[in-house]
Amino acid sequence: MSQESMDKFKAMTIFSAVVEEGTMSAAARRLGIANSVVTKNLNQLEHWLDRKLIYRSTRNLQLSQEGRLYYEQIKEIIHSVEKLESPTNLDHKTMTGSIKITSPIIFGKQLLSPLLPAFHIEYPGINIELILHDDFDDLVKGGFDLALRVSRLPDSNFIAKRLQSMRLRVVASPAYIELHGAPSTPESLSRHICLIDKSIGNAKRWDFISLRGDNLSVPVYGPLSINNAECIAQLCTDGIGVSQLPEIFVNDLINNGQLVELLPEYAIDDFYISLLYHQKGATNPATKAFIDHLTKNLSEK
């Protein structure tokens, strides 16, 4: 196959992904490429075909009639080739390779670690090195293939694949509420002892959505700032103060009465867990197999 034919097939694959995912960014995440690569290939495909396939605006995409007909003509070809190239069609027992992963400690323990046994059984020849700590490593210098990241995504040259969103919940213990009262509005948090979790987002401001639908970003203050949500949750149960934490750390504590959710009528912005990897990761069979494993088990349906 000539280079031009390979380039055309790549552009067809990207076009097919855009149609199926509905947005360029979603197609980029699925294929493990940058948004700019999607745009470039769509433009090139339309140039080759001399027809408009997709009408693009800042908010949405709309297939042209010719684009819809073209997609119907190529989709079975694209899907057949993708199926042949998928790691699921390789012999799992003989696939080999090494993957180096970094993750915040608590998310590595609660999300990644439980998924490793099943992956090892399916791919016994793939070695995994999992580094758990709460510093944000330089992925290139550290030689990492994958990174689990929480909210902030500092590595702009990497693909970010969103796996889950979690609700952030403001909580305090019954003992704290009895002594200090409960905040009635997000703004009233300024009069409370706030415990700051530095491992997520902007630790010095907590975000809310008002009852009218307006965005609120409230400054918070307190004597303790810790980069570990588990420690903050324990301090809350001890009655030290109020904190805003991902639901994964506090749901059980709320259900058993150790913590109380505050300001539940204010819809708190979602907190995102994403998987970062280099574009080349999508072409490495071992890395792609692990990406697919995480996506299957963690992604929101």
Q: Is residue 88 part of a domain?
A: no
Residue 114: pLDDT above 90?
yes
Structure confidence at residue 21 (pLDDT): 80
> Does one domain contain both 17 and 54?
yes
Partners of residue 172 on adjacent β-strands: 260
Q: Establish if 15 belongs to a structural domain.
A: yes
- How many residues are recorded in the chain? 301
Whether 9 and 154 share a structural domain: no
Taking 70 as the threshold, does the pLDDT of residue 152 lie above it? no
Q: Give me the CATH number covering residue 127.
A: 3.40.190.10
The 10s digit of each residue's pLDDT in 154-199 is 545 677 787 887 788 999 999 999 999 999 999 999 999 999 988 7
Distances (CA, A) of 89 to 17, 25, 31, 78, 286: 20, 27, 18, 16, 13
Asked if residue 228 belongs to a domain, the reply is yes
| pLDDT in the model for residue 155 | 47
Give how many domains the chain has, as a whole number.
3
Question: Do 119 and 200 lie in a common domain?
Answer: no
| 90, part of any domain | no
Q: With pLDDT > 70 as the criterion, what percentage of the chain qualifies?
A: 86
CATH number for the domain spanning 64: value is 1.10.10.10
- Pair 151, 184 in one domain: no
- CA distance linking residue 6 with residue 275, whole number of Å: 29
Shared-domain flag, residues 135 and 200:
no
> What confidence tens digit (pLDDT) does each residue in 248-268 have?
889 999 999 999 999 999 867
Residue 235, pLDDT score: 96
Which one of 61, 83, 105 terminates a domain? 83
The boundaries of the domain holding residue 290 are 97-158+280-298
Tell me the whole-structure pTM to 2 decimals: 0.61
Question: Does a structural domain hold residue 72?
Answer: yes
pLDDT of residue 63 exceeding 50, the answer is yes
Residue 256 inside a domain? The answer is yes
Decide if 292 is inside a domain: yes
Q: For residue 91, is it within any domain?
A: no
Task: Write down the pLDDT at residue 276.
Answer: 86
Q: Are residues 11 and 63 in the same domain?
A: yes
